[in-house]
Amino acid sequence: STPVATFCALLTAARMGLLVKGGDVLESLGEIKAVAFDKTGTITRGEFTVDIFDVVGHKVQMSQLLYWISSIESKSSHPMAAALVEYAQSKSIEPKPECVAEFRILPGEGIYGEIDGKRIYVGNKRVLARASSCQTVPERMNGLKGVSIGYVICDGDLVGVFSLSDDCRTGAAEAIRELASMGISSVLLTGDSAEAAVHAQERLGGALEELHSELFPEDKVRLVSAVKARVGPTMMVGDGMNDAPALAMADVGVSMGISGSAAAMETSHATLMSSDILRVPEAVRLGRRARRTIA
């Protein structure tokens, strides 16, 4: 292969906002047969808004609950955390991260923190199952469409529920359709609920070939390697800390640079420096051209 041709292709990639870690990555891009997309922050904008926030039971008051969870969430970099902190601030409650005694991330589930001597969990239904003695959820949270539902558990009791929504990125449906026209199939891998995955698929006009939900980081790795075995060379596109191992497992791991986590950027083979998901099919096309000129 000629170094000049490789250099030119790397420059072209950089000009379109794709930072590629080496010439061999470009060649692999041209061979891609499948793309695995993360949902939150990749297919969707990762900018949640809180639609519903309710206190459950009589143990705590709204202002206290918002103070606790915004303080704990302000230590998390998950896109849902920012929405919850903003929601509390919109109710004139300022988070105090310095008052959080202990903080832990529970991958694929949520977070744990201690504040005012209380042990608090915030997260999805896995967290509810793990931390709450009672699994009964208020009636109005059942049957909500297209939202992610979160639970707050304080010392073993469910004390709060909330719903969050997030829009698909512009160009997401078009990017997946373009990949399909190039003979490349797209699948969705998400840590979020099945309902949220189905909702994203509806918004994309059914463009995705497979949906996989409620995944832990290691499930994403397993599914990427299954797609590789079944379909062929596979790209993974993701932004989160929970995507990092799957990005490393893919033939080409592409991280989202602007909004993404440092861990995703480190383990990926290329970083997209914009939120323009249409650059994904464009990168494959560039890889195909590079393969022809470099070979």
Nearest residue (CB) to Mg ion, 159 versus 200: 200
Helix segments in the chain, DSSP class H:
3-15, 23-29, 62-73, 79-90, 125-131, 172-181, 194-203, 217-230, 244-249, 262-267, 279-294
Residues 177, 281: Cα–Cα separation, whole Å: 9
Q: Binders of Mg ion: how many residues, by CB under 5 A?
A: 5
Query: Which pair of structure tokens corresponds to residue 256?
Result: 């989202």
- CB neighbours of 168 closer than 8 A, spacing ≥ 6? 43, 44, 45, 200, 203, 204
Residues 247, 237: Cα–Cα separation, whole Å: 7
Distance of CA 141 to the CA centre of its chain: 23
Nearest residue (CB) to Mg ion, 18 versus 244: 244
Nearest residue (CB) to ligand ADP, 96 versus 104: 104
Reading across the β-sheet that carries 185-189, which strands appear in turn? 18-20, 270-272, 252-256, 234-238, 34-38, 185-189, 210-212
Query: Which pair of structure tokens corresponds to residue 42?
Result: 């990749």
For residue 283, the minimal CB distance to ligand ADP (Å) is 22
Nearest residue (CB) to Mg ion, 71 versus 186: 186
Interacting residues with ligand ADP (CB under 6 A):
38-40, 73, 76, 78, 80-81, 107-111, 122-124, 148, 150, 190-192, 240, 242
For residue 84, the minimal CB distance to ligand ADP (Å) is 7
Q: Is 40 in the site for Mg ion (CB under 5 A)?
A: yes
Nearest residue (CB) to Mg ion, 6 versus 275: 275
Q: Is 239 in the site for Mg ion (CB under 5 A)?
A: yes
Q: Which residues are catalytic?
A: 38
For residue 226, the minimal CB distance to ligand ADP (Å) is 18
For residue 25, the minimal CB distance to ligand ADP (Å) is 24
Q: Is 260 in the site for Mg ion (CB under 5 A)?
A: no
Burial of 85 (0-12, 13-18, 19+ CB in 10 A): buried
Q: For the packed helices 79-90 and 62-73, what is the interaxial angle rounded to 10 degrees?
A: 140
Instruction: Return the residue of 30, 41, 123, 150 that touches Mg ion, per CB under 5 A.
Output: 41
- Sign of the Cα torsion 120, 125, 129, 135 reads positive
Q: Is 70 in the site for Mg ion (CB under 5 A)?
A: no
Contact partner, 128, from Mg ion, ligand ADP, none, Cβ < 5-8 Å per class = none
Contact partner, 239, from ligand ADP, Mg ion, none, Cβ < 5-8 Å per class = Mg ion
Contact partner, 271, from Mg ion, ligand ADP, none, Cβ < 5-8 Å per class = none
Nearest residue (CB) to ligand ADP, 122 versus 263: 122
Q: Is 38 in the site for Mg ion (CB under 5 A)?
A: yes
For residue 64, the minimal CB distance to Mg ion (Å) is 30
**At CA 159, angle to CA 158 and CA 164, rounded to 5?**
95
For residue 189, the minimal CB distance to ligand ADP (Å) is 8
- Of 46, 94, 90, 52, whose CA–CA distance to 73 is shortest? 94
Q: Which residues contact Mg ion by CB under 5 A?
A: 38, 40-41, 239-240
